[in-house]
C-alpha cells in the first residue's frame, strides 16, 4: 500500500513539475505601418518537442477561396482538401516542396496528400483562377499562423532559448526571414514581430488576378 502511495506521489510530482515548467508565447505581428498582420507564419527552433506521430490537417475550400488562406504544418503531415462549396474544384500545385493535382471534385477526396518536404507550397484551382492558398511546411517543432487580429499564442512550451523564423505570402520576395533569438521564461513571453509586406491582391471572383498563381509560384520556387 505504501509503495502504491509513494508511486502516486512521484507521478503527481512529475506532472506538477511539467505543468510548472510549461510556458507560453504570445506573438504579435504588425506591418511596417504598425497595423495588425494576419496570415503570418512563425516557426521556432528550441527545446525539443514531442512530435505528433501522425499529424493531420485540413485545407478547405469555401466561397471559392482556400480556408485557411495560409496553413502551417509539420513535415510529414497528411492534409485533406475538403470542398465545402456547391461547385467542383480542381486543386493543384507545381511547388518544388509538393507537386500534386486533385482532379475536378466535390466533397472530400478519400486520400489525403502527404507533405513530406519542408518549403512553401502555393495552391491554385484550375477552374477558378483567383483562388490562391499556401501551405507552409516546416521541420521546426513549434509553429503557428497569426489570426485576423495579428496575434498567435503557443502554449505548453518548455522555457528556454528559441530561434524564430518568419514568413508571409505578401513579403516582397516571399521568402522566410529571421525573427531573431530570445528566451522564453517560465512565466511566458509577449513578443512583437514586424514584417514588410506588399498590398494584398483581391482574391474574389469579382476581380480575379489571372497571374496571381504564377507570380506566387515563381517567387516561392526561388527559396
What's the chain's average pLDDT? 85
The predicted-structure confidence for 172-196, as pLDDT tens digits, reads as follows 889 999 999 999 999 999 999 999 9
The predicted-structure confidence for 15-29, as pLDDT tens digits, reads as follows 334 444 689 999 999
Residue 47 DSSP one-character state: S
Separation of alpha carbons 124 and 21, rounded Å: 43
Please check whether residue 157 is in contact with residue 19, taking contact to mean a CB–CB distance below 8 angstroms. Answer: no
The predicted-structure confidence for 73-115, as pLDDT tens digits, reads as follows 999 999 999 999 999 999 999 999 999 999 998 888 879 999 9
Q: What's the domain count of the chain?
A: 1
Please check whether residue 113 is in contact with residue 77, taking contact to mean a CB–CB distance below 8 angstroms. Answer: no
Residue 214, in any domain of the structure:
yes
Residue 1, in any domain of the structure:
no
Q: What is the CATH number of the domain that holds 114?
A: 2.60.40.420
150 or 50, greater pLDDT: 150
Residue 91, in any domain of the structure:
yes
Provide the domain limits for residue 61.
Answer: 23-220
Q: What is the 3-state secondary structure (H, E, C) of 168-193?
A: CCCCCCCCCEEEEEEEECCCCEEEEE
216 or 170, greater pLDDT: 170
147 or 110, greater pLDDT: 147
Amino acid at each position: 500500500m505504501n509503495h502504491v502511495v509513494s508511486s502516486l506521489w512521484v507521478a503527481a510530482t512529475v506532472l506538477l513539475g511539467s505543468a510548472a515548467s510549461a510556458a507560453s508565447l504570445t506573438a504579435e505581428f504588425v506591418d511596417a505601418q504598425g497595423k495588425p498582420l494576419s496570415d503570418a507564419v512563425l516557426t521556432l527552433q528550441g527545446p525539443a518537442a514531442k512530435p505528433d506521430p501522425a499529424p493531420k490537417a485540413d485545407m478547405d475550400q469555401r466561397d471559392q477561396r482556400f480556408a485557411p488562406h495560409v496553413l502551417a504544418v509539420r513535415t510529414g503531415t497528411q492534409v485533406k482538401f475538403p470542398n465545402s462549396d456547391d461547385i467542383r474544384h480542381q486543386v493543384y500545385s507545381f511547388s518544388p516542396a509538393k507537386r500534386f493535382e486533385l482532379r475536378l471534385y466535390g466533397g472530400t477526396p478519400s486520400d489525403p496528400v502527404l507533405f513530406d518536404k519542408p518549403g512553401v507550397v502555393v495552391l491554385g484551382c484550375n477552374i477558378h483562377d483567383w483562388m490562391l492558398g499556401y501551405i507552409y511546411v516546416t521541420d521546426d517543432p513549434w509553429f503557428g499562423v497569426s489570426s485576423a487580429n495579428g496575434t498567435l499564442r503557443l502554449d505548453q512550451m518548455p522555457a528556454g532559448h528559441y530561434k524564430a523564423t518568419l514568413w508571409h505570402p505578401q513579403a516582397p520576395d516571399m521568402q522566410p526571414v529571421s525573427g531573431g533569438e530570445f528566451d522564453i521564461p517560465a512565466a511566458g513571453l509577449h513578443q512583437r514581430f514586424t514584417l514588410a509586406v506588399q498590398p494584398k491582391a483581391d482574391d474574389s471572383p469579382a476581380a480575379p488576378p489571372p497571374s496571381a498563381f504564377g507570380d506566387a509560384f515563381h517567387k516561392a520556387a526561388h527559396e
